[in-house]
Amino acid sequence: MIDKQDIQGFIKQGYGYLNYGRYLLVKIVDAAGFKQWLETHIDDISTAAQSDLKQTFNIAFTRSGLQRLSLPEDSLQSFAREWYENMVTPERSYRLGDTQHNAPENWQWGAPHQTTIDALLFGFFETSKGCKAWQQTIESFDFLEVIEVIEPRNLPQFKEHFGFRDGISQPTVKGMHKEKEKFNALATGEFILGHKNEYDEVAPCPVVNTNLDKHLQLKTNRQGDSLLGFNGSYLVFRQLEQDVHAFWDYVDQQSKDEYNKSHPQQRLLFASKMVGRWPNGKMIKPGATAQPSTGISNGPENQFTYENDTAGFGCPIGSHIRRSNPRATLDGQKKAKDAIKTANRHRILRRGRPYGEPIVSSMQADEILEKGNDDAQRGLLFLCLNADIARQFEFVQQTWLNNSKFRSLYTEVDPIAGIKPDAEHLLGNHFSIQGKPFRQRLRQVPSFITMKGGAYFFLPSIRALKFLSTLEDEA
Amino acid sequence: MEFQSPVLVITTIKSGRAEALTALLRELNHALWEQDVNPFGDFNLQHFARWVVINDQLIFAAAVDGSAEDYLQQLARNCLELLTPIYEHCENFPESGSSSTESVTNYLITHQEQTHMFYHGLRNRRVADIQLESQIHRSIEVFLDGNQDSNSFRANNPTTIVETIKAHLKGTGIDYDSDDPHFHSRLPPSIKAAAWWRWPALIGIVLGAVLLVPLVAYKEWRERREPSEQNPFIADSQPSELDFEEIQAIQSPMTSIVTIKPGWFRGITLRLVLWAIQMLADHYYNKGRLGSIGSIHFARWAIINNGRHLLFLSNYDGSWESYLGDFIDRAAHGLTGVWGNAVGFPPSKFLLWGGASHAADFKAYAKRSQVATHFWYSAYPQLSMPNKLNNRSIRAFLIDSKKSSAKHWLRRF
Ligand code: HEM
């Protein structure tokens, strides 16, 4: 059993029922002051043992943050290389697709030419008042400087800005969550450090010299090091701006009929094929041309593994959800069980929320198109948790979403979240909708999202936070 | 005769020249990938080729059509201007002025080394075939794009659609349906002829393993008490340089070199395991997959430097992370059987267990054993292994429509 009191609550849940929230990206200007504050407020940090909270508070650090708290270099180096280097290095930018219009030069935060981010303080609230008050408290501290305030916004029916229901498919963590779908139940160590993962191994966990752990807060390993990472996780944060009008405009153009007239039914079908689900979250059945209705007891579905749709006639092979989790139809595995096992070594626990006002409140395509482009900023605050950034988040982004050769495809990346090569690029960028008697291919799909900022954080356990707050300052 | 062969030429670099040679290779590589300057020009018998400087050695490795000797001869004949400035940095290369096609051919041939295990993803396709098949595929895709939105076109039955596609291809002048003797046999005659003894051979492997395993287990037990050594080759390649190699993402090279554990025993075990894997690759995994891994174009192991080092070269699709993940998920036993004989590998048990299945340790080991590939060439950088296989099937049906049904064939696009 895992000690839920030692685990930050954000690993267990995204607190979607709390409508207001803030992500505060901060710089620690006075480490001693910060530690003192942290030490006295450890009990305010939301844990996985609590439920039905009306207000939450969680905290995560970058390398520079832990450096500022005087964590020695040898300990910092025992963390994952991705976290140590953080999201922006030239190689990583290529790997993640953070190039051209997504390049760090154009980010609003997190790029090397901007103020270094030490920590992420974030909370969710029942009321807007509570939320503002909390933000003001943090901003009033003189031991830190708030660099960026990011405000998430829940959209109606759990939708994201393109108008599709989000937050449906999610792995459940053994020992933490009740199992929902069998194929979605993952080993604890995939998301919480220091536990057995899907390889049935305990992966390397960040450590610190035991001598520094004066109050013996931390568990030790057989070599006698203190496990600083135990019960912690890595938190990936990427702010992805969405161009909602461009998305629907493109799909509208592609679905026009022979007389160049918009064809709303075909338009909705194409857009849904790109996502891989209907806007209401229902799966797309082979041959379906219109969205099935949902009742209350009959919401989105998630029991499918694509075994009944291997050819992609319902949910296309290259659609967003089939790329981001191929389930039982990952290439090369004959048995569904084996395919799922392989796919499950690359799962992430998504904790994203939208930001910005919806382009129109109905989020219906015809109204969006009528309204035109409004230049307002909106998008997805993509957050996810994982224990191995390279094998989980980066893998999904690079090998599944941004890979133009995903499975046996030729020239296409993820139509929703993929980073598209430039127009003159050899491979162009299409999207194949498998069908009878042969596919339909949407051509030259443009980019609908732009990267605006990002960083890798470490979300420590409660005990690790206590340790950090009592860590002696460097002389 | 083999359709494809591994070429491996290892030469010694003159003292003090390694740096200049590395720079030259990097320059050629940059020109190839960034400026589209192909140093081989029209000479296209190589599927993949690489030059790698490791300490004082220059390694040239290529997967080529035809035999290695023929290839080297043709290479010297066609690419003397490419070879001369490279090999001038090496010992015993014919002096400038006196280097002729013959002397260079001789030089290359005499410096050849054996490849102990060679895997080819798609055995019977020459570079020219693969390129032609890609052209056919692209032409059909464009044709379908033009007709996909026409309801009347889509209403045709599959056979009619196929006929229209053929008519279109005829119009383009692409040679899409002339038969080719290589096409029908998946395997070269030498392997076909040897097929009868694959069962006895397999029994041999099993028996051999039964005898070998207790010995290996004993060795493993002994070795676990000895401190493991570091790989001495991490030399000059910065991790970030290696990272850049795999951002191409469609295909990437991997060059890895490790030290074989000392003593005759490991040498023999390693050769036996490589031989067994070669058998499996020739007789079982000869349809585009090595086990369940379908992302490898060509790969090989070679024992070099008088049995001291084990070289691993591969040309694979996708990211490093996915390649290594495939190894761990799908080929851990085989890799442990091979690399377990090398210094510093995560501890194995009974030859084939443990080792590569320790995911994190194995990846760390693979990273440490990897060196930079200074020059790397691919004849078809835009094609993945599944693309090559699919294109081949597309053409097979055009040559002989009994191979598939029109309905299923249309799903290949
Ligand atoms: C603005 C960009 C994005 C939008 C609009 C978007 C939207 C969606 C939607 C509508 C779903 C289906 C609902 C669900 O199953 O929860 C979904 C699923 C998913 N998305 Fe995204 N997404 C975006 C970016 C990303 C990125 C960058 C990643 C990963 C690197 C990602 C990973 C996933 C995963 C893993 C699933 C669940 C797949 C499954 O298990 O079936 N998404 N996304």
Where b means 16+ CB within 10 Å and e means fewer, B315-328 reads: bbbbbbbbbbbbbb
Percent of chain A, pLDDT > 70?
97
Interface predicted TM-score (ipTM): 0.91
- Does B121 fall in a domain? no
Tens digits of residue pLDDT in B287-311 = 777 777 888 999 999 999 999 999 9
Q: Which residues pair with A23 in a beta bridge?
A: A122, A150
Q: Give backbone dihedrals phi and psi of B282, rounded to 5 degrees, phi first.
A: -70, -40
Chain B residues in contact with A404 by the CB 8 A cut-off are 249-250
Q: Which residues pair with A105 in a beta bridge?
A: none
Q: What is the pLDDT of residue B234?
A: 45
Q: What Rg do the C-alpha atoms of chain B give, in angstroms? A: 23
Instruction: For residue A410, give how far its alpha carbon lies from the nearest alpha carbon of chain B (Å).
Output: 7
Which residue has a Cα nearest atom 38 of ligand 1? Answer: A321
Amino acid type, B304: I
pLDDT at B195 over 80: no
Shortest CA distance from B319: residue in chain A:
A399
What is the model's pTM?
0.92
pLDDT at B236 over 50: no
Residues B207 and B356 in one domain: yes
Of A199, A331, A410, the CB nearest to B294: A331
Specify the higher pLDDT residue, A381 or B213.
A381
Percent of chain B, pLDDT > 70?
85
- Does B119 fall in a domain? no
Instruction: State the CATH number of the domain containing residue B83.
Output: 3.30.70
Residues B171 and B316 in one domain: no
The arithmetic mean of pLDDT across residues A347-352, rounded, is 97
Residues B67 and B32 in one domain: yes
With CB atoms and an 8 Å threshold, state whether A437 touches B321: no
Confidence at A475, pLDDT banded by 50, 70, 90: low
Of ligand 1's listed atoms, the one at least distance from the Cα of A160 is 5
Size (chain A), residues: 475
Percent of chain A, pLDDT > 90?
83
Whole-number Å distance between alpha carbons of A414 and A145: 37
pLDDT at B363 over 90: no
Whole-number Å distance between alpha carbons of B238 and A89: 14
Tens digits of residue pLDDT in B311-362 = 999 999 988 888 888 888 878 888 888 888 888 888 777 777 777 778 888 8
The answer to whether A447 and B156 have CB atoms below 8 angstroms apart is no
Cite the DSSP H helix spans in A16-141: 31-41, 63-68, 73-76, 81-85, 90-96, 128-140
Chain A residues in contact with B328 by the CB 8 A cut-off are 199
pLDDT at B183 over 70: no
- Does B245 fall in a domain? yes
Residues B86 and B139 in one domain: no
Long-range Cβ contact pairs of B213-221 (< 8 A, separation 24 or more): B213/B350, B213/B351, B215/B265, B216/B269, B216/B340, B216/B350, B216/B351, B217/B349, B217/B350, B217/B351, B219/B265, B219/B266, B220/B340, B220/B347, B220/B348, B220/B349, B220/B350, B220/B351
Confidence at B243, pLDDT banded by 50, 70, 90: low
First-to-final CA distance of chain B: 34
Shortest CA distance from A427: residue in chain B:
B382
Confidence at B210, pLDDT banded by 50, 70, 90: low
Tens digits of residue pLDDT in A35-56 = 999 999 999 999 999 999 999 9
Give the closest residue to B349 by CA, choosing from B213, B211, B230, B207: B213
Which residue has a Cα nearest atom 32 of ligand 1? Answer: A324
The tokens for A257 are 């009929």
Whether omega for the bond prior to residue A171 falls within 30 degrees of 0, making it cis, is no
Residues B362 and B396 in one domain: no
Chain A residues in contact with B145 by the CB 8 A cut-off are 441, 443
User: Would you call B384 an interface residue with chain A, using a CB distance cutoff of 8 Å?
Assistant: yes
| Centroid of chain to Cα B303 | 16
Instruction: For residue A395, give how far its alpha carbon lies from the nearest alpha carbon of chain B (Å).
Output: 7
Q: At what angle do helices A31-41 and A462-469 cross, to 10 degrees?
A: 140
Residues B295 and B214 in one domain: yes
Instruction: For residue A58, give how far its alpha carbon lies from the nearest alpha carbon of chain B (Å).
Output: 29
Assign B172 to helix, strand or coil: helix
Instruction: For residue A52, give how far its alpha carbon lies from the nearest alpha carbon of chain B (Å).
Output: 37
Residues B104 and B146 in one domain: no
Confidence at B246, pLDDT banded by 50, 70, 90: low
Whole-number Å distance between alpha carbons of A433 and B222: 58
Percent of chain B, pLDDT > 90?
53
Half-sphere exposure of A88 (CA within 13 A, CB side): 22
If you count residue pairs, one on A and one on B, with CB atoms under 8 Å apart, how many are there?
A: 109
Tens digits of residue pLDDT in A379-413 = 999 999 999 999 999 999 999 999 889 988 998 99
Residues B153 and B206 in one domain: no
Tens digits of residue pLDDT in B52-107 = 999 999 999 999 999 999 999 999 999 999 999 999 999 999 987 777 899 999 99
Whole-number Å distance between alpha carbons of A122 and A355: 15
The answer to whether A248 and A365 have CB atoms below 8 angstroms apart is yes
- Does B318 fall in a domain? yes
Where b means 16+ CB within 10 Å and e means fewer, A43-63 reads: eebbbbeeeebebbbbbbbbb
Q: What is the pLDDT of residue B237?
A: 45
The answer to whether B25 and B89 have CB atoms below 8 angstroms apart is no
Q: What is the pLDDT of residue A426?
A: 47
Chain A residues in contact with B289 by the CB 8 A cut-off are 332
For ligand 1, the distance from its centroid to the CA atom of residue B56, given in whole angstroms, is 50
Whole-number Å distance between alpha carbons of A361 and A474: 53
Whole-number Å distance between alpha carbons of B23 and B16: 13
Residues B302 and B198 in one domain: yes
- Does B400 fall in a domain? yes
Residues B139 and B213 in one domain: no
Total number of domains in chain B: 3
Whole-number Å distance between alpha carbons of B39 and B33: 11
Residues 6+ apart with CB under 8 A from B152: none
Tens digits of residue pLDDT in A148-175 = 999 999 999 999 999 999 999 999 999 9
pLDDT at A367 over 80: yes
Residues 6+ apart with CB under 8 A from A199: A345, B328, B357, B358, B359
Residues 6+ apart with CB under 8 A from A119: A25, A26, A28, A59, A60, A61, A62, A65, A144, A457
Q: What is the pLDDT of residue A422?
A: 58
Half-sphere exposure of A44 (CA within 13 A, CB side): 14
Residues 6+ apart with CB under 8 A from A394: A82, A92, A95, A96, B321
The arithmetic mean of pLDDT across residues B253-259, rounded, is 94
Q: What is the pLDDT of residue B77?
A: 95
Residues B177 and B195 in one domain: no
- Does B120 fall in a domain? no
Q: What is the pLDDT of residue B189?
A: 59
Confidence at B264, pLDDT banded by 50, 70, 90: confident
With CB atoms and an 8 Å threshold, state whether B319 touches A440: no
The arithmetic mean of pLDDT across residues A188-203, rounded, is 95
Whole-number Å distance between alpha carbons of B26 and B19: 11
Which residues form the domain of B292? Answer: 189-378
Whole-number Å distance between alpha carbons of A461 and A3: 10
pLDDT at B194 over 90: no
Q: What share of chain B is helix, strand, coil (3-state, %, to 5)?
A: 50, 20, 30
Whole-number Å distance between alpha carbons of A234 and A62: 10
What separation in angstroms does the CA of A184 have from each of A334, A343, A347?
A: 19, 10, 9
Give the closest residue to A68 by CA, choosing from A93, A113, A32: A32
User: Would you call B156 an interface residue with chain A, using a CB distance cutoff of 8 Å?
Assistant: yes
Q: What is the pLDDT of residue A424?
A: 47
Q: What Rg do the C-alpha atoms of chain A give, in angstroms? A: 23
The answer to whether A234 and A386 have CB atoms below 8 angstroms apart is yes
Give the closest residue to B2 by CA, choosing from B131, B191, B185, B193: B191
Whole-number Å distance between alpha carbons of A105 and A112: 8
- Does B24 fall in a domain? yes
Residues B34 and B50 in one domain: yes
